[in-house]
Chain A
Amino acid sequence: MRAILMAILMLVLPVWWTLSLQQRIEGERLQLKYGGAHVTREMRDVIGQGMAIGLLAGFRGVVADFLWIQSHSHWEKKEWLQQYSDMQVVTTLQPQSVLFWDSGSWHMAWNIGYAERVDTNNYTLAQGIKREMVWHERARQFLLRGIENVPNRYELYFKLGWLYDQKFKDPCLAAEQYGIAERFPDVPAYVVRMHCRKLAECGKVAESYECWKSIWFQDHNKVPHIWSIVEREIRKLENDMNIPEPQRVFPKQSHKA
């Protein structure tokens, strides 16, 4: 009997020993945003029993992947709302996945949006365009939610900028997002160039000129830019803005700086 009591005591001991450690681990997990949303009854209804068991056993990634594949099969069957619903669940399961936010918004804005526009059930072209715009807005909301969850990566800011640029045709909002994206150290060089270009399209020509100049005055051997493009843009802006000859990076007479 005493041995049994000792055994029970041994099982209770970790409660005291690990309580503070466990709280610290939980705190750290929250801070580092590990995991994702817990399984709720609504989620279980969407994902089905098998996947719910997988989730309960800790296979969040695998379940999210299979749901993503399932969402793609909905796309093939033109079941766009089911696809949208699956994408919502997948991003709830893995809110830290840039891949899901990125591909999901792309599906909505480009694939589903276009499919809605050219749907033969539309009475008029205007109806198709209106339906397409609904999906553009969904994609925008989706990306904004993605940015809330993954604010520390450049990708989603860039994708939102790209969406504003390509689908909303708003260079000012696009420039704003590219501007945020370019602050990240691992951002590709083309995002910085796109920021400069959209600033000019937005009417902020002076800012754009400064932007291009800031690129040009970087070390050409260290920063992987396509320098011919940068030179071309600076020359164009200097002509458009009538920059006085001595202040130009590329004076009219010269071909090279």
Chain B
Amino acid sequence: MTDARNEWVGFSPRRVWMIAVNTLTESVRQKVYLIMILFALVLISSASFFSQFGFGETGGQEALEQLKFIKDFCLGAISVFGMLIAIVGTAQLIPNELENRTIYTILSKPVRRFEFLLGKYAGSALLVLVSVVMMSVMFGAALKFKGDNYLKVTQQSVGQAQDAGTMEEAVRQMQKIRAAVYDPDLVKALLLTFVKLALLAAITLLVSTFSTSMVFNVAVALLIFFAGHLVGPAKEKWAESGAARFLLTLIPDLSVFNVADDVILGNAIPWLYVAKVVVYGAVYLVCVIAAAHFVFADREI
């Protein structure tokens, strides 16, 4: 047991960084992670080949429907696999260190428990970031591939247009396809997905500071993930009860991070909204890490 207040004395960001990089390296080498990221990348890249999953319309409408499907599917996959990577990647960090007894070697050196905890979290957040970036690049490629195909087909129909009206419609269709493929708002959806996953990783770390079982950590984090998406409807249901609203505020409302649907539907997402949600996530994240610090500082190792 250590005094949590003394943890700040001699705090070294360099040591935190070293632990973070080491954690990232260890995580990336794990088979569980490699299988998950590989599966995610294959799934996302294959989204562009789901031509049979169209909604059955013909003409220009088909292209927009296909692109909507690809975006929904890929952003959904990024969210699911990101969630799995964040939870599984973080849940095992402290239990593994304890099981392998490597934590004694680290903490016997001049490394504060807070530095260790923060380093572990930073490593996990980096892992999530790397994964989200890789999946996003693959998503972008899949979208561009499909979009370019549709653009080529529409371009041909412009060339073959018999009358000016058909040509006008085809040109307009091309503009819509371009807007759907090169949508800058997708970055906002990906950014908020990352913040949500980083918060989820922090919550998992908090759970793992007082639990010794990885399965327990994963299960609790998953439950919080689902509960976080139900906070909004629950608040509406129990809007009159102040106590219920207070208790519900303890769980971060994860649905506020979900703007992917609205981006895909073409709704404007103001940067101010994104900034507010990022601040909201950051406040929770800092508090959860601080709580994890107090629990971990008090823990018998």
Contacts and interface: CB of A to CB of B under 8 A. Distances in A.
Nearest to A1: B298
A57 interface: yes
A88 to B, nearest CB: 16
A228 B279 CA distance: 56
Given A21-B280, A61-B76, A34 B233 contact: no
A35 B169 contact: no
A8 B55 CA distance: 50
A171 to B, nearest CB: 19
B283 A14 contact: yes
A57 B276 contact: no
Interface string A167-197: 0000000000000000000001110000000
Contacts of A65: 53, 68-69, 72-73
Contacts of A13: 287
Interface string B248-260: 0110111110111
Contacts of A102: 61
Contacts of A189: 168
A174 to B, nearest CB: 18
Given A25-B256, A39-B233, A58-B258, A188 B291 contact: no
A35 B55 contact: no
Interface string A6-33: 1110111111011101101110110011
B236 A38 contact: yes
B195 interface: no
Contact of B253 (A4, A22, A33, A72): A22
A99 B64 contact: yes
Contact of B273 (A25, A38, A229): A25
B168 A190 contact: yes
Interface stretch (B10-18, B96-104, B130-138, B222-230): B222-230
Contact of A15 (B226, B229, B246, B261): B246
A57 B233 contact: no
B249 A14 contact: yes
Given A38-B236, A224-B168, A226-B164, A56 B273 contact: no
A235 interface: no
Contacts of B254: 58
A114 B297 CA distance: 72
B262 A96 contact: yes
A10 B203 CA distance: 13
A6 B76 contact: no
Given A11-B250, A58-B254, A4 B298 contact: yes
A11, A33, A68 — which one has the most chain B CB atoms within 10 A of its CB? A11
Interface string B166-188: 00110110000000000000000
Contacts of B270: 32
B140 interface: no
Nearest to B261: A61
B55 A72 contact: yes
Contacts of B55: 68-69, 72, 103
A43 B290 CA distance: 40
Contacts of A98: 265-266
Given A57-B226, A69-B53, A12 B75 contact: no
B284 interface: yes
A97 B265 CA distance: 5
A229 B168 CA distance: 13
B256 A29 contact: yes
Given A59-B79, A65-B72, A188-B172, A3 B294 contact: yes
Contacts of B72: 61-62, 64-65
30 contacts: A3-B4, A3-B295, A6-B4, A7-B291, A10-B294, A11-B287, A11-B291, A14-B249, A14-B283, A19-B249, A21-B279, A21-B280, A25-B273, A26-B235, A29-B256, A32-B273, A34-B261, A35-B258, A58-B255, A61-B76, A62-B73, A62-B76, A65-B68, A65-B72, A69-B55, A75-B56, A96-B261, A99-B64, A226-B164, A226-B168
Identify the 7 closest CB pairs spanning chains A and B, nearest first. A3-B298, A61-B72, A10-B291, A7-B294, A7-B291, A62-B76, A38-B233
